[in-house]
């Protein structure tokens, strides 16, 4: 039986800061993504080779999804949301590698990602509509809704965190239980399912972040409803 999924053991300390295993895994993912991005974007050409074509499919796909949700030029949002998606995919799927535990299966990594989304929503909202206009949007459609709007900012960030954490963690938990009970080959279908869940959750995390940002930057109140 593994230890509590709500805490993680310290690996070592750097001064007063304790470094846990998910943090080290995150560092390795960051290095891999940075080196991979550098390698895949050097000498871009007008006539793309296979490597560049794959990159363009990915970037164009993400940009198209963002454009569909926000109904604006996706370029200001592409760096943040694309990085979020690629990092979430890498983090969720890293649990498939033997001996590696997905950093998103511990609560601190989803909490950090959700906090980034929370701050980005306000940043893009203030940038698109000015501080006064953005603050005024909390009192829509009536002033009575102000506490509810403020509350929903907090709860949706919390649910963003809990959703990613719960899905990835429960998948790893089930696999660990089946390994302990049944041994070698039985967990393989579950691991395949875990790959699917990891991809879908990364997609959902990014789409929800896009919806929240889209609601914050929308020009008219009619664009702001919908899924937010």
Partner 1 sequence: MNPKLISIVCAAIAVSIGSVGPALAEGRSVAAAMDAIARQPEAAGTISRTLFVGLAMIETMAIYCLVVALLLLYANPYAA
Site for partner 1, rule CB under 8 A: 4-7, 65, 68-69, 159, 162-163, 165-167, 170, 200-201, 203-204, 207-208, 211, 227
Provide the sign of the torsion angle of the four alpha carbons 14, 15, 20, 26, taken in this order. negative
* Spatial distance between the Cα atoms of 194 and 176, rounded to a whole number of angstroms: 12
**Closest CB 205 distance from partner 1, rounded Å:** 8
Q: Which of 91/107 has CB closer to partner 1?
A: 107
**Closest CB 218 distance from partner 1, rounded Å:** 16
**Closest CB 98 distance from partner 1, rounded Å:** 25
Q: Which of 49/68 has CB closer to partner 1?
A: 68
Provide φ and ψ at 68, rounded to 5°.
-60, -40
**Closest CB 164 distance from partner 1, rounded Å:** 9
| Per-residue tokens: 70 | 């926000």
- Cβ burial 107-142 (10 Å sphere, 16+ → b, else e): bbbbbebbeebbebbeebbbebbeeeebeebbeeee
Q: Which of 134/157 has CB closer to partner 1?
A: 157
Pairing of strands 17-20, 10-14: antiparallel
Provide the sign of the torsion angle of the four alpha carbons 98, 100, 105, 109, taken in this order. negative
Given a contact cutoff of 8 angstroms between Cβ atoms, the answer to whether 15 and 116 are in contact is no
Q: Which of 26/167 has CB closer to partner 1?
A: 167
**Closest CB 63 distance from partner 1, rounded Å:** 15
Q: Which of 2/34 has CB closer to partner 1?
A: 2
From residue 33, alpha-carbon distances to 30, 109, 117, 178 in Å are 5, 16, 20, 31
């Amino acid at each position: 039986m593994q230890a509590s999924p709500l805490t993680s053991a310290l690996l070592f300390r750097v001064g007063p800061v304790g470094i846990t295993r998910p943090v080290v895994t995150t560092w390795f993912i960051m290095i891999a993504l940075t080196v991979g991005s550098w390698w895949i974007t050097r000498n871009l050409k007008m006539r793309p080779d296979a490597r560049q074509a794959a990159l363009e499919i990915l970037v164009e796909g993400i940009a198209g999804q963002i454009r569909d949700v926000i109904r604006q030029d996706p370029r200001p949002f592409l760096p943040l949301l694309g990085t979020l998606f690629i990092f979430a995919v890498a983090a969720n799927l890293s649990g498939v590698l033997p001996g590696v535990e997905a950093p998103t299966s511990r609560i601190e990594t989803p909490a950090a990602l959700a906090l980034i989304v929370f701050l980005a929503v306000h940043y893009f909202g203030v940038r698109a509509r000015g501080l006064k206009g953005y603050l005024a949007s909390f009192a829509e459609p009536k002033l009575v809704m102000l506490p509810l709007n403020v509350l929903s900012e907090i709860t949706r960030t919390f649910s963003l965190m809990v959703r990613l954490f719960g899905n990835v963690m429960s998948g790893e938990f089930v696999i660990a239980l089946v390994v302990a009970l049944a041994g070698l080959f039985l967990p393989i279908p579950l691991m395949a399912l875990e790959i699917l869940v990891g991809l879908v959750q990364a997609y959902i995390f990014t789409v929800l972040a896009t919806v929240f940002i889209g609601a914050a930057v929308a020009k008219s109140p009619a664009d702001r409803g919908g899924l937010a």
